[in-house]
Amino acid sequence: MNGFAYLLKYSYRNLFRVPKRTLIMILSLSLGCGFIIWDLNFANSGSREIMNDFLTQYAGNYHITHPDYYDSKNKKEFNIYKTMSDEEITDKGQIEKSTKRAIAPVFVSGEKKTLGVLLTGLEVKKEKKLSTLYTAITVGKFLSEEGSKEIILGKKFAQRINIKIGEQVAVIGQALDGSIANDLFTVVGLLDFGGGDLEESLAFTQLNSAQDLLSMPPERYHQRVSFDMSVETVPVLKNLGVSSWKELLPEISVSIRFIDNFTWIVSVIIVIVVSLGLSNTLMITFFEREQEFTSLNIIGAQSIWITASLMIEVFIMGTIAVILGAFLGFLATTYFHYYPINIEVFTGGKSIIMGGMTIAPLVKIYSVPKYYWQVPLMLYFFLILTMIYPLIRVIRRSSNAI
């Protein structure tokens, strides 16, 4: 124990032989560690904030449906004849967190043109409470809570069929009883998703209006869309199907995973670059002390003792650096938690169009506890690799090594 204490004291003292060089190495490691922790927190929070902003507009976190409503292989395909009711939901807590929807592909006919669109019947009061769809209405108004036979169209779609606010359109589709569904609806609002494709493919009306159009019983509907963004795993409901947004929007899910994984790749590259610079600095430092190592060999110090002292020096320096780096990363994360970053800073002032919708959220950065031990472990791993080559060279150049 006394020998180890002396070795520790000897190694610690050697850190101050060239204080400026030691300070530069500690700062490079700590700044790298702090930046990587902040960057990972930013990427994680950014993905979450962007997805929350996107999902609360329309798609929701997950859909509760009849088990055969969505095609098992392709969630883009659905069967309008497969409906459900509240009586089938065993977990009644799901009812408070979700809103009913009745959905069907229909044709909307204006004065000069008839085009296909996906018509969605909304539970208006709960939709305004749970989603932000109503904020996308830039012309006219949102659907009336107690009204009927009103319809909202996308701006692009309305332009294509040459329809304005207050005018009527004919809606034609397939009713659930096999008859032809047709009725007149009054256009009360126009959706603006920032020029996204959804402006040409979606239309909305009241739930009761959609049920009447489709000859659907008032207690039946197609989906319950949950906007509870606090859960990451979807619930399991008996006799019903539950589909997460990752299944419903696989292309967006893949993009988010790619961004997260790419952030880790960039972080590893940063660590490698810092490690290479540190390796070169350690090589110079060790070679400058070659006469010291030779003198230690002559008076009886074994190579393993010298090697251990050098390793302890590096680990002391690394420990100081990762503690400081973790603290800097935490400070930066905390600052941007209270002062969120506008994502448009990284897009040249332009909003992001995702899934046909415009996204421009403020990213509030949250700390992810696992990053505060994963990043230091990664740095220590590369520190070990960094030391190997300089130590081998020092030992081989020591002609009097024992």
Examine the domain organization and report whether 105 and 212 are in the same domain: yes
Residue 217 and residue 306 in one domain: no
Q: List the structure tokens of 55.
A: 């999902």
CB 331: neighbour CB atoms within 10 A?
A: 12
Note the pLDDT of residue 196. 65
User: Can you name the residues that pair with 226 across neighbouring β-strands?
Assistant: 62, 98
76 with 49, same domain: the answer is: no
Instruction: Give the model's pLDDT for residue 364.
Output: 82
Are residues 149 and 87 part of one domain? yes
Final residue of a domain: which of 193, 228, 263?
A: 228
Residue 17 lies in a domain: yes
234 within domain boundaries: no
Contact 92, 119 (CB under 8 A): no
Residues 69 and 37 reside in one and the same domain: no
- Averaged pLDDT, groups of 10, the chain, 402 residues long: 60 69 81 87 81 83 92 86 90 85 92 88 92 87 90 90 91 91 93 75 93 93 90 84 87 78 81 75 67 60 66 80 91 90 68 60 82 86 76 61 46
Domain identity same for 275 and 363: yes
Q: Count structural domains, the chain.
A: 2
Task: Give the CA radius of gyration of the chain.
Answer: 31
Is residue 159 domain-shared with residue 97, that is, in the same domain?
yes
Determine, yes or no, domain membership for 186: yes
Residues 134, 40 share a domain:
no
Q: What is the pLDDT of residue 350?
A: 64
pLDDT of 255? 76
Partner residues linked to 357 by β-bridges: 354
Rounded Cα gap, residues 245 and 51, in angstroms: 10
| Strands (E) located in 141-177 | 150-154, 168-174
How far is residue 326's CA from residue 35's CA, in Å, rounded to a whole number? 9
Instruction: List Cα–Cα distances, 99 to 53, 202, 221, in angstroms.
Output: 18, 18, 10
pLDDT at 400: 47
How many Cα atoms occupy the beta-carbon half-sphere of 99 within 13 Å?
25
Give the end of a domain, one of 213, 228, 243.
228
* pLDDT at residue 99, rounded to an integer: 93
Any domain includes 141: yes
Would you say residue 76 lies in a domain? yes
- The confidence score (pLDDT) of residue 65 equals 93
Range of the domain at 258: 2-55+253-397
Same-domain pairing of 80 and 50: no
User: What pLDDT was estimated at residue 297?
Assistant: 58
Burial class (CB in 10 A: 0-12, 13-18, 19+), 47: middle
Give the DSSP per-residue string, 232-298. SS----TTSEEEEHHHHSHHHHHHHHHHHHHHHHHHHHHHHHHHHHHHHHHHHHHHHTHHHHHHHHH
Structure tokens belonging to residue 162: 């040459």
Q: How far apart are CA 339 and CA 45, in angstroms?
A: 13
Q: Are residues 27 and 70 in the same domain?
A: no
Q: What token pair was written down for 323?
A: 């503690």
| Type of residue found at 123 | E
Instruction: Give the per-residue pLDDT at 401.
Output: 47
Are residues 204 and 74 part of one domain? yes
Q: Indicate whether 116 belongs to any domain.
A: yes
SS3 state of residue 166: coil
Q: Say yes or no: 70 and 214 in one domain.
A: yes
Q: Is residue 227 within 8 Å of 89, Cβ to Cβ? A: no
Q: Is residue 301, in this structure, part of any structural domain at all?
A: yes
Domain stop point among 168, 194, 228 = 228
User: Other C-beta atoms within 10 Å of 200: how many?
Assistant: 19
